[in-house]
């Protein structure tokens, strides 16, 4: 989905500078609370705290993020082992038992074709998570490369790439996604491509911004002086510094990819029947809104809690990366 | 400043040309041939050829593009493959419905969003703050179409309070002047029509505005918190000004500057959300028209709508950017591009 944009020419608040600051503040913060002036020898021999370990500790200290993480692990479990757990075949129809209300036999009831909604909701986990991950991977790979090249090369290369990104951002992402679907045709594989392509600009912009600020550092100049190739500088020296910001963005990206998948499914552009997908289930059961509300309740709930979990995890990761709000 | 404005406006031109090329090639180059879809499976090769010629699809793509753009400048966006009617006219007929919905949604989102955001910031760490955050979190996580479905279930199905879809009762439809039913019915003294249009508008507007409301709440809260921490707020309090005045006059005005930009950008984003909302509520606007046309492969319609939405989106972003520069005197844009 869309988020607000900064005016294009204003320098964006740069999250990567925070990570640099983080190291300094952390170093300070570790010494200050102890009160007395640390023994010089002691500080020298102190093992430097691993940044990732620190982040992890701070993340699991955040209750909402921890719960989300556990829930996401549960979703992954459902996605992998779902087919073994469903009480019914999620794609087998039974017209004799259509639109049954939730009961002991059918926990979430049955839909208009007599398919068990509980089984279909579980089966839908795999589709949503796969599409979410694949779409983000596509966006991430292309976005990172484009952003890195634009930021590192500068000049006309930068202008061309970023103007192209502007063009993609000139169309609301969901409209661009369904336009792509119109061109590519229906189907879940096409949905992955469409959702992946429309979120490229976000990553490209973030990575470019990071690279622009990181490349000013002395150690990058040093790396160049000793004869590193541009490729190596980008991948070994610059990108690792932008990694944490990219991870946060990608986590939030999964939540919007799950939402977009459901939206395309709802409009009838996603999976083709009888495959189970949450948005598609909602789209097809719409006509039974008053007659059989359960057909619409559970798939929607599944989408909402999944998106919520990835949003909370993303927020938690962002806080964990920001030393100012880091939970100790 | 002047240089910044000029540059920002000029930048729109290449972006729009690019967008038109992207959309055009998506529709004409990468899409499957629409002829068999439009004419049906049993169309003969001869009839397909005739149809392609009639729709100008047999010319080289570049020629097609140039013709399209030249016509578009004169307000001719081609004709629908199915109804043969003018795309521009069809869009024009549906556009007011979407704008009416979007305006209602943004009004709701702004009012409630700013209110919740201010309350959350002023009473930081209170119940209000927690409730505001929760509300905002759910607002960005819930799929807009499912929210619409839930609203229909509850307010139309359970309470029988509000209609489940449509824009107005046909019997009460006002004579079309502006196309905005609320305005048309009011100016024609059609009080029942006005009431009916209003109750039809409530649920779609709440649905469409929910996401923006969440964003505006978050933005207002953080902006307000930042402002409240400023020295001049402390000074104002030290002077003995009442807390209401400190917040209403000093803090709110300053913290709303960045919020204004967000509201502008959200209005553009609503045009995307309208696609789904209109489908849920059978709202006869361009969103529903787009979805229907895509499902039918009616490419001239899709192309026209996407281009129009892009123009609006880019214009709103431009206004929001420039508005931000004008509203906040602290921002100085250097005329030289800096990154």
Measured CA to CA, the distance from residue A296 to residue B293 in angstroms comes to 25
Q: Which are the contacts of A56, defined by CB distance < 8 A and separation ≥ 6? A: A320
Asked whether residue A326 carries a pLDDT value surpassing 90, the answer given is no
Inter-chain CB proximity A289 and B276 less than 8 Å:
no
- Mean pLDDT, chain B, rounded, equals 85
What phi-psi label fits residue A114: left (phi over 0), alpha (psi between -120 and 50 degrees) or beta? Answer: left
A153: left (phi over 0), alpha (psi -120 to 50) or beta: alpha
- Judge: A266–B143 Cβ closer than 8 Å, yes or no: yes
Kindly indicate the confidence band of residue A70, based on its pLDDT and cuts at 50, 70 and 90: very high
DSSP string for A219-284: HHHHHHHTT--HHHIIIIIIHHHHHHHHHHHHHHHHHHHHHHHHHHHHTT-SSPTTS--HHHHHHH
Q: Is pLDDT above 70 for A22? A: no
B275 → chain A, closest CA residue = A175
Domains along chain B?
97-295 (1.10.3720.10)
Indicate the residue of B11, B15, B153 with minimum beta-carbon distance to A293.
B153
Under 8 Å between Cβ of A202 and A142: no
**Cα gap B309→A179, rounded to integer Å:** 12
| Per-chain mean pLDDT for chain A | 81
Give residue-wise pLDDT tens across range B57-93: 888 888 888 888 888 888 888 888 888 889 999 999 9
Sorted by sequence, the CB contacts under 8 Å of residue A53 that are 6+ apart come out as: none
Q: State the DSSP code for A101.
A: P
Closest CA to A241 of A12, A18, A11: A18
DSSP letters for A14-79? -HHHHHHHHHHHHHHHHHGGG-SPPPHHHHHHSPPPPHHHHHHHHHHHSHHHHHHHHHHHHHHHHH
Residue pair A110/A170 in contact (Cβ under 8 Å)? The answer is no
In the block, which residue shows the tokens 């952390």? A26
pLDDT at A15: 43
DSSP codes joined into one string, A111-131: -TT--BHHHHHHHHHHHHHHH
CA-nearest of B271, B301, B281 to B289 is B301
d(CA B189, CA B46): 56
Angle formed at CA B315 by CA B312 and CA B317, multiple of 5 degrees: 110
**What is the ipTM metric for this complex?**
0.85
Please say if the pLDDT value at position B278 is more than 90. yes
Which residue in the block uniquely carries the two structure tokens 């933005």?
B219
Classify B124 as helix, strand or coil: coil
| Residue A259 with chain B: CB contacts under 8 Å | 143
- Distance set, CA A76 to CA A71, A107, A263, B98, B327 (Å): 9, 21, 21, 39, 47
Q: Is B79 helix (H, G, I), strand (E, B) or coil?
A: strand
Q: How close A256 gets to chain B, by Cα (Å)?
A: 9
Q: Which residues contact B87 (CB under 8 A, 6 or more apart)?
A: B77, B78, B79, B80, B300, B301, B304
| pLDDT surpassing 80 at residue A49 | no
Phi (first) and psi of residue A142, to 5 degrees: -65, -45
Please enumerate in sequence order all residues whose Cβ is within 8 A of that of A315, keeping only pairs 6 or more positions apart, or say none.
A64, A65
- pLDDT > 70: what percent of chain B? 96
Closest CA to A178 of A197, A162, A163, A205: A197
Contact with chain B for residue A311, Cβ under 8 A: yes
> Three-state DSSP class for A189?
helix
- Which pLDDT band, with edges at 50, 70 and 90, does A47 fall under? low
Q: How far is CA A321 from CA A315, B137, B194, in A?
A: 10, 20, 52
Which chain A residues are within 8 Å of B271, Cβ to Cβ?
Answer: 172, 175
pLDDT greater at residue B97 or residue A22: B97
Nearest CB to A311 within list B11, B137, B324: B137
Angle between helix A117-153 and helix A155-169 axes, rounded to 10 deg: 150
pLDDT at residue B23 tops 90: no
Task: Please give, rounded to a whole number of angstroms, the shortest distance from the CA of B129 to a CA of chain A.
Answer: 16
Closest CA to B105 of B296, B335, B282, B272: B272
> Does the pLDDT of residue A292 top 90, yes or no?
no
Region B143-154: what's the mean pLDDT? Answer: 94
Comparing alpha-carbon positions, the chain B residue that sits nearest to A168 is B19
- Partner-chain contact B339 A212, CB within 8 Å: yes
How many CB atoms within 10 Å of residue A99?
16
A164 touches chain B (CB under 8 A): yes
CA-based nearest residue to A136, from A254, A242, A306: A254
Mean pLDDT score, A158-180: 88
Residue B280 has pLDDT above 70, yes or no: yes
Rounded distance between C-alpha atoms, residue B322 and residue B310, angstroms: 18
Contacts by residues B177-184 (CB-CB < 8 Å, ≥ 24 positions apart): B178/B96, B179/B93, B179/B95, B179/B96, B179/B97, B179/B100, B180/B96, B180/B99, B180/B100, B181/B97, B181/B100, B182/B100
What number is the average pLDDT over the span A118-122?
92
Q: Considering CB atoms only, which of B31, B140, B276 is closest to A263?
A: B276
Reduced to 3 states, what is the DSSP secondary structure of residue B86?
Answer: strand
pLDDT at A28 over 60: no
pLDDT tens readout for residues B227-270: 888 888 888 888 888 888 888 878 888 888 888 878 877 877 78
* Residues of chain A contacting residue B265, judged by C-beta atoms under 8 Å apart: 2, 4-5
Specify the pLDDT at position A325. Answer: 54
pLDDT in tens, A226-263: 888 888 888 888 888 788 888 888 999 999 999 999 99
Q: CB B26 to CB A183 under 8 A? A: yes
CB B225 within 8 A of CB B119: no
Q: Distance from A50 to chain B by nearest Cα, in Å?
A: 31
Do B205 and B99 contact (CB within 8 A), yes or no?
no
Res. B202: pLDDT tops 90: yes
In the prediction, which pLDDT does B332 show? 53
pLDDT for A323: 60
The predicted structure's pLDDT at residue A166: 86
Question: What are the structure tokens assigned to A30, written together?
Answer: 């570790």
The pLDDT tens digits for A179-228 are 888 888 888 888 999 999 999 998 998 889 888 888 888 888 888 888 88
Which member of A183, A263, A282 has the closest CB to residue B30? A183
Single pTM value for the model: 0.83
Quote the CA–CA distance of B158 and B164 in Å, as a whole number.
Answer: 11
**Burial readout B26-43 (b: 16 or more C-beta within 10 A, e: otherwise):** bbbeebeebbebbbeeeb
Cross-strand partners of A116? A110
Closest among B138, B332, B208, B192 to A300, alpha carbons compared:
B138
Tell me if B211 sits within 8 A of A1, measured CB to CB: yes
pLDDT at A29: 38
């Amino acid at each position: 989905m869309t988020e607000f944009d900064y005016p294009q020419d204003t320098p964006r608040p740069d999250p990567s500078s925070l990570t640099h600051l983080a190291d300094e503040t952390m170093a300070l913060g570790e010494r200050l609370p102890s009160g007395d002036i640390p023994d010089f020898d002691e500080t020298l021999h102190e093992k430097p705290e691993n940044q990732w370990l620190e982040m992890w500790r701070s993340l699991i200290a955040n209750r909402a993020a921890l719960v989300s993480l556990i829930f996401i692990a549960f979703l992954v479990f459902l996605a992998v082992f779902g087919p073994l757990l469903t009480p019914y075949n999620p794609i087998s129809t039974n017209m004799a038992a259509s639109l049954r209300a939730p009961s002991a036999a059918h926990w979430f009831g049955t839909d208009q074709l007599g398919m068990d909604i509980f089984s279909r909701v579980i089966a839908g986990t795999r589709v949503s998570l796969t599409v979410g991950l694949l779409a983000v991977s596509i966006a991430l790979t292309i976005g990172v490369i484009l952003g890195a090249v634009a930021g590192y090369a500068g000049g006309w290369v930068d202008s061309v790439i970023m103007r192209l990104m502007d063009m993609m951002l000139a169309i609301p992402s969901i409209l661009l996604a369904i336009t792509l679907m119109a061109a590519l045709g229906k189907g879940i594989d096409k949905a992955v491509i469409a959702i992946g392509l429309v979120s490229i600009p976000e990553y490209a912009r973030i990575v470019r911004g990071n690279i622009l600020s990181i490349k000013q550092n002395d150690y990058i100049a040093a790396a160049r002086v000793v004869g590193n190739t541009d490729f190596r500088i980008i991948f070994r020296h610059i990108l690792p510094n932008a990694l944490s910001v990219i991870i946060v963005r990608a986590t939030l990206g999964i939540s919007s990819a799950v939402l977009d998948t459901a939206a395309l499914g709802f409009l009838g552009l996603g999976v083709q029947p009888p495959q189970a997908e949450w948005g598609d289930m909602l789209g097809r059961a719409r006509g039974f809104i008053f007659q059989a509300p359960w057909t619409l309740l559970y798939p929607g709930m599944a989408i909402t809690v999944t998106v919520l979990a990835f949003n909370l995890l993303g927020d938690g990761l962002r806080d964990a990366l920001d030393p100012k709000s880091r939970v100790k | 400043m002047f240089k910044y404005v000029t540059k920002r406006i000029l930048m729109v031109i290449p972006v729009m040309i690019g967008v038109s090329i992207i959309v055009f090639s998506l529709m004409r180059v990468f899409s499957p041939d629409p002829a068999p879809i439009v004419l049906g499976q049993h169309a003969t090769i001869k009839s397909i050829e005739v149809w392609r010629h009639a729709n100008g699809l047999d010319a080289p793509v570049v020629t097609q593009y140039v013709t399209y753009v030249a016509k578009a400048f004169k307000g001719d966006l081609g004709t629908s493959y199915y109804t043969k009617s003018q795309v521009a006219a069809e869009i024009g007929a549906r556009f007011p419905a979407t704008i009416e919905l979007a305006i209602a949604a943004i009004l709701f989102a702004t009012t409630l969003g700013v209110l919740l955001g201010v309350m959350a910031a002023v009473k930081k760490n209170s119940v209000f703050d927690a409730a505001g955050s929760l509300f905002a979190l759910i607002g960005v996580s819930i799929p807009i179409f499912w929210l619409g479905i839930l609203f229909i279930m509850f307010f139309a199905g359970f309470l029988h309070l509000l209609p489940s879809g449509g824009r107005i009762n046909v019997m009460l439809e006002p004579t079309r002047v502006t196309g905005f039913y609320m305005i048309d019915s009011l100016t024609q003294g059609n009080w029942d029509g006005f009431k009916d249009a209003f109750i039809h508008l409530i649920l779609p507007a709440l649905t469409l505005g929910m996401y923006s409301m969440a964003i505006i709440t978050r933005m207002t809260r953080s902006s307000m918190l930042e402002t409240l921490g400023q020295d001049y707020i402390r000074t104002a309090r030290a002077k003995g000004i009442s807390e209401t005045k400190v917040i209403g006059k000093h803090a709110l005005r300053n913290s709303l500057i960045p919020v204004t930009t967000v509201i502008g950008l959200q209005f553009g984003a609503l045009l995307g959300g309208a696609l789904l909302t209109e489908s849920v509520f059978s709202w006869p606007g361009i969103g529903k028209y787009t979805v229907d046309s895509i499902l039918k492969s009616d490419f001239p319609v899709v192309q026209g709508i996407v281009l129009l939405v892009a123009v609006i989106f880019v214009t709103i972003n431009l206004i929001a950017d420039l508005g931000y520069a004008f509203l906040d005197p602290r921002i100085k844009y250097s005329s030289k591009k800096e990154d």
